[in-house]
Amino acid sequence: MRFVIDPTASRFTVQAFATGFLSAFGHSPKIGIRDYEGEIHFVPETYQKAFVRMTVRTGAMDVLDEMKSDDRKKLEQAMYREVLEVDRFAETAYESKQITVQKLGADLLLAYVTGELSFHGVTQTHSLGARVTAMGTMLRISGDFSLRQSDYGIKPLSFAGGTVRLKDEVKFNFELVARMQDEVGASA
């Protein structure tokens, strides 16, 4: 079976955390990831030969927090130019190498995924867990994972002359909807 992630029905965010002397007054921005695609394959019923692939275009992320328009623009520009370097690293990709599935109920699963994350020009092995609810021709997949920016050659962003900076670790949250595709790629 093949399922394709539907970004219009899904939510994928990353949370950064402020640290430093004045961090109590700083933002811990939540970023919405807007442009991504992915697919999931597996053998029905047994979930054997499970495979996941996702691609994220790094230039399509928005700060979701309430803040002044000028502050939001400055933060997004710094994120694109200094942190993500979208001109050099336009995409991030994840491809599973191993997936194990634990059935919790008739339609509820826990999936443990180990794969290769290529981010900011660096590829590392990254594992995560996800809850999967099978709903006929649709899957609902939710979970979270953390990563350290420095593992991918990224220097965490700092503001106000370094008195407020973002921690190295960021946390991703996802609530994805994937829809079954037939042999020619149309939604079933």
Q: Look at domain 2-181 and name its CATH class.
A: mainly beta
Spatial distance between the Cα atoms of 72 and 64, rounded to a whole number of angstroms: 9
Convert the pLDDT of each residue in 122-159 to its tens digit: 999 999 999 999 999 999 999 999 999 999 999 877 76
The per-residue pLDDT for 22 is 47
Spatial distance between the Cα atoms of 186 and 164, rounded to a whole number of angstroms: 48
The per-residue pLDDT for 20 is 64
Residue 147: CB atoms within 10 A of its CB come to: 19
E strand spans, the chain:
2-5, 11-15, 18-19, 30-33, 36-41, 51-57, 61-63, 91-103, 108-119, 122-135, 138-148, 158-159, 164-166, 169-181
Q: What is the pTM of this model?
A: 0.88
The per-residue pLDDT for 183 is 52
Minimal CA–CA distance to 166: which of 15, 17, 27?
17
The ranges assigned to domains in the chain are: 2-181
Which residues, 6 or more positions from 73, have their beta carbon under 8 angstroms from its beta carbon?
none
Do you know the residue count of the chain? 188
Spatial distance between the Cα atoms of 141 and 135, rounded to a whole number of angstroms: 11
The per-residue pLDDT for 66 is 77
What residues in the chain have per-residue pLDDT under 70?
20-27, 159-164, 183-188
